[in-house]
């Protein structure tokens, strides 16, 4: 296994933090509450509220994730004159020991003000966390690979059943290695082999 390239990792992290600072130049590395918000093409106000020990770092980390808010940030980009429906970012600093309380308070304020919230909980890292939206645990890397294999197996199986015949070459008939490879190929087409942790 190759060693991680820390220089590259830190460069990518710095680039994401630079993008956040362009959108919100005053954002600090101290603790607080942040809100990504936008008004979409239909005039619907949307928001995501989070808490962070290091605001700039946490906001930037969303740009490297694959959950629902991160995907929306990628899809819609940040607000600019030529992107009026892009995301904006605001924040408020507060002491670490107040993060849970402030996050819950801010999420409720935004929801009460008519924002469609991307948050799947009512906030806080503490006990009694309430799920408010459709919560699907984020896919891990391995789960994503398995889901991709299952999709590919389904598509290949459909194409083969409708249009192709898969068999051994004549010169490979009776060859045990080739027969095992054909069995392996057929198992790969069986999407049930990729079930489980979706």
Range of the domain at 152: 141-194
Q: Are residues 113 and 150 in the same domain?
A: no
| Domain assignment present for 122 | no
Number of domains, the chain: 2
H or E segment to which residue 5 belongs: none
Across the range 33-44, mean pLDDT stands at: 95
| Domain assignment present for 154 | yes
Return the CATH number at 46.
3.40.1440
pLDDT band at 128 (very low <50, low <70, confident <90, very high): very low
**Three-class secondary structure of residue 37 per DSSP:** strand
Q: What is the pLDDT of residues 63-72, one digit of tens each?
A: 998 888 899 9
| Domain assignment present for 132 | no
Instruction: From residue 29, give the alpha-carbon distance in Å to each of 33, 36, 58.
Output: 12, 17, 9
Residue with tokens 């924040």: 91
State residue 97's pLDDT score.
95
Q: Are residues 154 and 110 in the same domain?
A: no
Q: Are residues 104 and 16 in the same domain?
A: yes
pLDDT band at 197 (very low <50, low <70, confident <90, very high): very low
| Domain assignment present for 188 | yes
| Domain assignment present for 113 | yes
């Amino acid at each position: 296994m190759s060693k991680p390239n820390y220089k590259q990792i830190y460069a990518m992290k710095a680039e994401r933090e630079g993008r956040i600072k362009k959108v919100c130049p005053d954002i600090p590395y101290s603790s607080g509450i942040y809100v990504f918000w936008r008004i979409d093409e239909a005039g619907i106000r949307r928001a995501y509220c989070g808490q962070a020990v290091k605001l700039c770092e946490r906001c930037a980390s969303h740009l490297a994730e694959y959950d629902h808010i991160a995907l929306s940030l990628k899809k819609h980009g940040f607000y600019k004159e030529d992107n009026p429906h892009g995301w904006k970012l605001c924040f408020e600093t507060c002491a670490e020991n107040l993060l849970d309380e402030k996050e819950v308070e801010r999420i409720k304020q935004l929801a009460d003000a008519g924002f469609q919230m991307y948050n799947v909980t009512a906030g806080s890292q503490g006990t009694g966390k309430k799920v408010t939206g459709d919560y699907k645990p984020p896919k891990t890397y391995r789960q994503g690979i398995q889901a991709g294999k299952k999709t590919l197996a389904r598509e290949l199986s459909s194409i083969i059943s409708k249009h192709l015949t898969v068999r051994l070459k004549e010169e490979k008939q009776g060859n045990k290695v080739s027969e095992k490879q054909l069995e392996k190929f057929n198992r790969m087409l069986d999407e049930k082999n990729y079930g489980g942790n979706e």
